[in-house]
Structure 1
């Protein structure tokens, strides 16, 4: 016999069995806690979804990160939001509010405050504008700046920044340790980090992870280090970047780390397990973010990290309206500044061929450096990492920002002729697998795998030639100063960037040079001032260097393919 349920019983049964309506809170097991971790890295002042170099919308920016974070918080209020550094430098907006409108609140920090960041690890580019700007941003922030390996030289037992934070999510305690690449003294002007020292990240990670485990009694540790991997994550093969990166060593040698989040190298590396540690890198410019979920389960009286999963999320979604409205005035002010006309180009200035012969666009940089410093020579690199042409007609601030993308300043060195030659030999190391194809009448060139293209310096003020078909270290065919072979023992004044002066790009010979003068005005501003004074700018190139190849290759070298660009 078929029995029918009473109507009230049937309603109760349906209420228990039916899924929760959309938006309703789902009850979690009492013995389980899920914490969401979102990390951004190397945002470099990208707030709006806009590419300042191309003057067009782009899939990037904190306005899109904010929308993802808002949705993630609605899904799980146990959310930890952290940044990996290189945040307040690297875009026209970041420069404008650090140098031009420095008396106004920093919009990058304002946006991060509005998004309720929990902490930010300090990156190397945080020091580019000097400690005054860095400290002002630190005071404006409603979240701590972290760097456990940055110490005061007058108090060697005291980190300059907070080393870590601990956050509580219900019964679960999570520690976040911040670390900064130790290589800052090899890139940065000494005055910009005066009174500070940067210790090895590996040894500091061992020390502070132990403190977090033994003293803070955390249930999980996230190391948020502003450095990349010095070895391939699949093979462990070193990649030659150990002078600035130590994330691989931390993965292998620091017990007690649950998650290692990295940055600095601008790589898009989704979360993966390496030696039991979940590790990732979230690209750059807020084009991606790292989204991780940690699941803790109770075992007796303790909470144990039972699951850790994650993904890198591209910022192709909507913008957060509140954050978009907050950053719009700063974005609009930056666009107005970039659109200022500073002079007139009488013809196109193109970077075409800049890696294989002298070039009028890079010669503009050389001219400004030599005129400003009075140096006999200058060494400079083409920095955009992509083809660039300043078109005939009005020259805008944005054109020069696209040409010189870093906040470098000039340093005048006294260098021996021998060291000038050594610098050119080092620069010639960019070329790899140079082959002459007689059938195609083409000299084929590759880029050496461990040579970053923005470190390929050329020299102005002397004449020279490079033969890329010869072995590395033997490629400089001649070097003449005022129509005579350069005297190896004589001293010459050479203008370089502050990045180069301390050995950046492995120009170790510059470290040996005599420091004659430092300048506080960045090279981009010097170029803008130079064009304003001249009013009109014609392409000028003295053709002081070329690729020295056998006679039958000379014409073909005009069609030589340049090394592939590298952008950070």
Structure 2
């Protein structure tokens, strides 16, 4: 009996020893991306309730933390500082109070953030102030301080949970110089994502010996060369070509994605993208089996979770009620009156009061000869009657500066040739589409889903009279007959052109690929720039005028009209049938 007792005692100790050596750790990874100022479940532009928002995301996080506690890791992937008036107000209007974005992210207990291109667009005074007040690191391994050659921000964050070491490496799309004026990011440069990932993956493995590596990349997955040198949307390339990542969290392209890919080492990598506005979030479960403190296996599952079903956090709304009221007061200020309602819908099919109002304001503000502008919102409307600050975010979506650049007549024509090439289908029969549509839109890409190219690159011109022949190839579409005042338009003459800073810095490549101006020469063409964003000047202009009578200027048209007029009616119905 003593022997049997000894045997069972020994067996019991052995079981305890094995149990002590083996362990299962469950982690919950939550990613938000491209929130674009949607902090509250209310759209301050349209004055309606909103199904996205940090308030809804926090409701989900609160529920999940009941189970996962500290093992829930909350990450943001950039473009959180721009979009809704909530962000604008604390970026530029109230710069004394703590920034609402950092206050909310601290309240939600984010573990790390990442820089997005629209965060950089706010300017260093804004994004440096925001970063300084965040209780967590905002990452940027490929954002380099040119004076030191070192990252301006922390390249990665180490998190330890239940004996598991997790490393989060943050990077931004490097194409910032092709979109944004250098004064917004002075003293910085943006390195290639794949080269940067290779460098830091080696350092991370040698220095940190991680169990899980997460890429937090503000870039989409359909890579292409921007302006011939910036590898835009390289997240999928990094996931496949740089071994070591378990998860790559994407953003920037506003397109939902959740799938596994195999990297060059034969390992599986989860890539996931929650699109935009906090409507969905990336919801990832990681289960690790450890033995003697070492990971034996990893099981990673991801899904995109709708935030609407989790409701709104009452705690969140109560805590941030004063800031809500401050923003509501800001957007409710009347600035003028419109005699007619205007919408971006007609802007895809010809001259429109909406775009021509922007043209008129740009020309009046700058005194330029010609204006370029595009429909920045897919389906925006400002109703006739009283116009408020909130309407200005419909009129002009982004915080671009207003530039005046010098362009020759030929460069203006070539610019428009590329714009309308990206915009229109080349019609071969009266039954063809007028606009260039995708055959199969990507889910969750919102207004970007229908067109083959981004509609914020569909620039028209004002100040000249011209036609666009949609039966002709690029290079032969545009016929400019005269200036708007009837004087001759000359290909060899230098004109002053008003346009936004995104376009003036090379955004959309209309000036580089279209007009043929080298990227590095664009800044030499800029002869004037506003010191504040274009929306600020539009607001001031309308407030000064008081009453606006927006009309289509009818300075251009699609031809042949016997084809394009019926095609426009068909395409209008096709494009807007789901948003009627």
Q: Shared fold by TM > 0.5?
A: yes
Q: 1:431 aligns with which of 424, 432, 445?
A: 424
User: Of 382, 405, 409, which aligns to 1:417?
Assistant: 409
Equivalent in the alignment of 2:537: 526
1:427-469 Cα distance to aligned partner (Å, 9 max, x none): 111112535437xxx9743336541111100111111110112
1:203 equivalent to 2:220? Answer: no
Q: Which one of 552, 562, 571 corresponds to residue 561 of structure 1?
A: 571
Deviation at 1:29, TM superposition (A): 9.6
Question: Are residue 168 (structure 1) and residue 171 (structure 2) matched?
Answer: no
CA contact (8 A) 2:434 2:568 kept: no
How far apart, CA to CA, are the structure 2 residues paired with 1:34 and 1:389? 47
Structure 1 gaps, min length 5: 1-26, 233-237
| 1:256 aligned partner | 244
Determine if the alignment matches structure 1 residue 286 to structure 2 residue 289. no
1:222 aligned to 197, 214, 219, which one? 214
Whole-angstrom CA distance in 1 between matches of 2:55 and 2:251: 20
Could you tell me how far apart the structure 2 residues matched to 1:28 and 1:35 are? 20
**Equivalent residue in structure 1 for 2:120, among 110, 121, 127:** 127
Equivalent residue runs for 1:64-143 within 5 Å = 64-77=56-69, 78-143=71-136
Q: What displacement does 1:288 show? A: 0.9
Deviation string 1:31-88 (CA, Å, 9 cap, x unpaired) is 1111111111011111111123332112211111111111111111211111001111
Q: Does 1:478 align with 2:480?
A: yes
Q: Which has the higher helix share?
A: 2
Query: Where does residue 296 of structure 1 map in the other structure?
Result: 288
Moved more, 392-401 or 446-455: 446-455
Deviations 1:187-207 (A, max 9, x none): 111100000000000011111
Q: Take 1:231 and 1:187, find their aligned partners in 2: how far apart are those partners?
A: 17
Partners of 2:126 and 2:487 in 1: CA distance: 47
Aligned to 1:315: 307
d(CA) in 2 for partners of 1:419, 1:278: 45
Kept in 2, the 8 Å contact 1:219–1:305? The answer is no
Distance 2:332 2:229 in 1: 38
**What is the distance in 1 between the residues matched to 2:433 and 2:140?**
48
367, 370, 380: which is aligned to 2:360?
367
- CA distance in 2 between partners of 1:364 and 1:413 (Å): 20
* Partner in structure 1 of residue 553 of structure 2: 542
Counterparts of 1:387-398 in structure 2 under 5 Å? 388-398=380-390
Partner residue of 1:329? 322
Match for residue 445 of structure 1?
Answer: 435
Tell me, in whole angstroms, the C-alpha distance in 2 between the residues paired with 1:349 and 1:300.
67
Aligned counterparts of 2:38 and 2:92: Cα–Cα separation in 1:
17
**1:349/1:390 contact within 8 Å kept:** yes
Tell me, in whole angstroms, the C-alpha distance in 2 between the residues paired with 1:137 and 1:372. Answer: 32
Corresponding position of 2:3: none
Question: TM-score, length-normalised on structure 2?
Answer: 0.86
5+ long unaligned stretches in structure 2: 1-18, 439-450
CA contact (8 A) 2:467 2:557 kept: yes
Change (3 A) 1:499 1:305: farther
Q: What is the total number of aligned residue pairs between the two structures?
A: 529
Whole-Å separation in 2 of the counterparts to 1:80 and 1:486 = 60
What corresponds to 2:47 in structure 1? 55
Deviations 1:230-258 (A, max 9, x none): 269xxxxx9x9984211121122101111
Give the deviation of 1:537 after TM superposition: 1.1
| Superposition deviation, residue 561 in structure 1 | 2.7
The secondary structure found in structure 1 opposite 2:147 is coil
SS at match of 2:435: strand
Pair 1:491–1:560, CA change in 2 (3 A): farther
Question: Which residue number in structure 2 is paired with residue 24 of structure 1?
Answer: none
Please give the alpha-carbon distance, in whole angstroms, between the structure 1 residues aligned to 2:182 and 2:420.
28
1:474 is paired with a residue of what secondary structure? coil
Q: Find the counterpart in structure 2 of residue 343 from structure 1.
A: 336
For the residue of structure 2 that corresponds to 1:505, the secondary structure is helix
Shift of the 280–247 alpha-carbon distance from structure 1 to 2, 3 Å rule, reads: same
1:368-415 CA distances to partner (integer Å, 9 max, x unpaired)?
1111111111101111111x3322211111222112111011111001
Q: Which residue of 2 aligns with 1:179?
A: 171
Displacement after TM superposition at 1:28 (Å)? 11
Q: Cα offset for 1:348?
A: 2.4
The answer to whether 1:268 aligns with 2:221 is no
* Partner-residue secondary structure (3-state), 2:425: strand
**Larger deviation, residues 395-404 vs 166-175:** 395-404
